[in-house]
Amino acid sequence: MTLQLRVYVPPHPLIKHWLGVARDASTPSALFRSAITELGRWLTYEAIREWLPTTDMTIETPLAPCPATFINPEVPVVVVPILRAGLGLLDGAQALLPLASIYHLGLVRNEETLEASCYLNKLPDQFNPETRVLIVDPMLATGGSSVCAMEELTKRGIDPALVRIVAVVAAPPALQKLGTAYPSLTIYTAGIDETLNDRGFIVPGLGDAGDRIFGT
Ligand code: PRP
């Protein structure tokens, strides 16, 4: 069986609404931050549906024994925000995964070459191979940053099939690059945009998410 990258655009009205707010150039920084937080929350909700491990047991209600399903606390769950802009999605993701460990990864693109380089890496030397990883980054443009994050994770024992990437907008070059390198990966995004401009920005996109979140 040939594995193929799975890319989901959940057809949820809240996701559509907050994507529209984030795309609008007239949205001020404070509201833009709220929109990204909400997108982090609802995209994470969708992304963890078939991914968060559960365990079945029998509990006692006040009246009788009853089968019940809980989050399995023995399987490690981690969130990896790609700095800076990924920090904007973190609050929403963390609200749904309060017990997840957070490992920050600082990546920045060279504005000329568009190559990503790593300036902060808080990943442990090795992960438990069962670890579920949620990468959060608002934009997948050339795919250089997300492939770099995947390289750092897989060389520490992460199975790409257990990774979900949550992104606000994704462009075809990034999906092509990720699909070639990690065909078992799954992506949840609010929108797939048409193209990149000559500066590597997603078009129509939402501008520079990091600058808009932090007002810089
Ligand atoms: C942006 C964005 C992604 C990356 C996507 O970050 O948040 O991390 O670019 O581009 P790519 O797919 O071509 O690698 P940026 O480098 O602007 O850093 P920032 O988050 O600190 O603003």
Pocket lining: 147 vs ligand 1, CB cutoff 6 Å: no
Taking only the tens place, the pLDDT of each residue in 164-193 is 999 999 999 999 999 999 999 999 999 999
Mean pLDDT for all residues in the chain? 96
In this prediction the pTM is 0.96
User: Is 206 inside any structural domain?
Assistant: yes
pLDDT in tens, 87-127: 999 999 999 999 999 999 999 999 889 999 999 999 999 99
In a domain, 38, yes or no: yes
Q: What is the pLDDT of residues 55-91, one digit of tens each?
A: 999 999 999 999 999 999 999 999 999 999 999 999 9
Whether the complex's predicted ipTM is more than 0.95 is answered with yes
Domain, as residue range, for 16: 6-214
Torsion of CA 33, 34, 37, 43, to 10 degrees: -120
The pLDDT of residue 3 is 76
Q: What's the pLDDT score for residue 1?
A: 59
* pLDDT-above-90 percentage for the chain: 97
Domain count, the chain: 1
144 is in an annotated binding site: yes
> Could you tell me the distance, in angstroms and rounded to a whole number, from the CA of residue 14 to the centre of ligand 1?
24
CATH number of the structural domain spanning residue 124: 3.40.50.2020
Establish if 1 belongs to a structural domain: no
- Ligand 1 contact via 142 beta carbon (within 6 Å): yes
